[in-house]
Amino acid sequence: MNSIILGTRGSALALAQVEMAESALRTAFPDLGIERKVIKTTGDRRTDIPLSEVARAVDMDKGVFTKELEVALQDGEIDIAVHSLKDMPSLLDEEFSVAAVLPRASRKDVLIGKERGGLEGIRQGGRVATSSVRRRRLLELIRPDLEVVDIRGNVPTRLRKLRESEELEGLLLAKAGLCRLGLLHDGVVGSGGEVLHVTELDEAVFVPAAGQGAIGLEIRSQDLNALTVCEEVNDGNTMRVVAAERRFLSLLGAGCETPVGVAGTVEEDGTPGEIRLRAVVFEDGEDVPLRGEVLGSGDDPEGLAARLLAAMKESNSM
């Protein structure tokens, strides 16, 4: 294979992530020609409504940030689609597959505030913004006094909205995006000449979304040339962990906008290759989520996900 075409969204974060993919591919294949194709997705176009409502508004069942990239794959316009893995549906059509994931960045959520102090520093009844139903439900659980509002736009746009708003006191985002954009330095981000304060949230409480912090490379399942290229840049540990996370979502029947957090960790102590998988799930109509955790072999991510779901169901029935 002499050349390859990568497809990506056009946001600043998406472009930073495709640059990471290009760098990894060039290191593995110095003579490989790499072309980039920027594609606008439904999620990029529909910023006029909450993200959780976009799929229903345009009559899509899944993948508001991925569908157009998959169409380009299908039509042969691109060879690899580069995604934020957390944006991808947990179940893909058979003609597509996640062939590789790059080494994972931090998967933690962060609170960005105008003042120091993290969540404790937000005043009683303060207003905090997020586009994620998972982050909204977890924040409402921890701080029921706060007013949680929707926000849309790319990362710099959301930071600007926070800075310019007289009502907003905080913003919830993924730490990985701030880092990849080079915005986070010593616990602060700059926006319009002002400093905003960043506090990491405890992932044992604020369980991250499946695949958060990971970059996925999606290909046509039958494209062996693209598969061979992707295999050279795949991070094995990250792939095993995100496979377990995504399998848990699919067993649960959850989509990208379902209030579910699931995060795996490769255990440093104990049996080599073991993964600790933790989840939090908000069931319909329930204010208190189900929580669960299991430890098992990283060589069987599907079995590990099934064990976690079974344990959570059993715990809930008691």
CATH says 1-102+214-234 is which class?
A: alpha beta
What does the pLDDT look like over 114-158, one tens digit per residue? Answer: 999 999 999 999 999 999 999 999 999 999 999 999 998 899 999
Residues 6 or more apart in contact with residue 12 via CB below 8 angstroms: 154, 155, 156, 181
Active site residue 223: no
Domain spans, the chain: 1-102+214-234, 109-200, 235-318
In this structure, of 61-70, 84-93, 100-109, 257-266, the range with the lowest mean pLDDT score is 61-70
> Which of 234, 298, 217, 315 has its CA nearest to residue 264?
298
Q: How confident is the model at residue 52 (pLDDT cuts 50, 70, 90)?
A: low
* 266: pLDDT strictly greater than 50: yes
Q: In what order do the strands lie in the sheet with 194-200?
A: 147-149, 127-129, 168-174, 109-113, 194-200, 188-191, 184-185
Under a CB-based contact definition with an 8 Å cutoff, are residues 5 and 32 in contact? no
Question: What is the pLDDT at residue 63?
Answer: 73
**Residue closest to 142 by CA, chosen among 128, 159, 158:** 128
Tokens encoding 110: 């962060």
Q: Rounded mean pLDDT of the chain?
A: 90
Query: Per the CATH hierarchy, to which homologous superfamily does domain 235-318 belong?
Result: Porphobilinogen deaminase, C-terminal domain (3.30.160.40)
CB atoms near residue 202 (< 10 Å):
10
How far apart (Å, rounded) are the C-alpha atoms in residues 228 and 90? Answer: 23
CATH superfamily placement of domain 109-200: Periplasmic binding protein-like II (3.40.190.10)
Considering the candidates 44, 75, 79, 87, report the single residue annotated as catalytic: 87
| Identical fold between 109-200 and 235-318 | no
Least confident piece of the model among 54-58, 91-95, 255-259, 295-299: 54-58
Question: Can you give the pLDDT at residue 53?
Answer: 53
Cβ contact 230:217 at 8 Å:
yes
Counting residues of the chain whose pLDDT is more than 70, the rounded percentage is 91
Lowest mean pLDDT among 162-166, 190-194, 283-287: 283-287
